[in-house]
Amino acid sequence: DIQMTQSPSSLSASVGDRVTITCQASQDITNSLNWYQQKPGKAPKLLIYAASNLETGVPSRFSGSGSVTHFTFTISSLQPEDIATYYCQHYDNLPYTFGQGTKLEIK
Partner 1 sequence: QVQLVQSGAEVKKPGSSVKVSCKASGGTFNNYAVNWVRQAPGQGLEWVGGIIPMFDTTRYAAKFQGRVSLSADDFMTTAYMALSGLSSEDTAVYYCATVAGGRFRYWGQGTLVIVSS
Please report whether residue 99 would count as binding partner 1 according to CB under 8 A: yes
Please report whether residue 97 would count as binding partner 1 according to CB under 8 A: yes
* Position among 25, 34, 63, 71 found at the interface with partner 1 (CB under 8 A): 34
CA nearest to 86, candidates 50, 27, 44: 44
Instruction: Give the nearest distance from C-beta 77 to partner 1 in angstroms.
Output: 26
Cβ burial of 53 (10 Å; 0-12, 13-18, 19+) is: middle
CA nearest to 51, candidates 67, 40, 62: 67
Q: Which of residues 35-54 bind partner 1 (CB under 8 A)?
A: 36, 38, 43-46, 49-50
CA nearest to 35, candidates 71, 69, 68: 71
Residues of this chain that interact with partner 1 (CB under 8 A) are 32, 34, 36, 38, 43-46, 49-50, 55, 87, 89, 91, 94-101
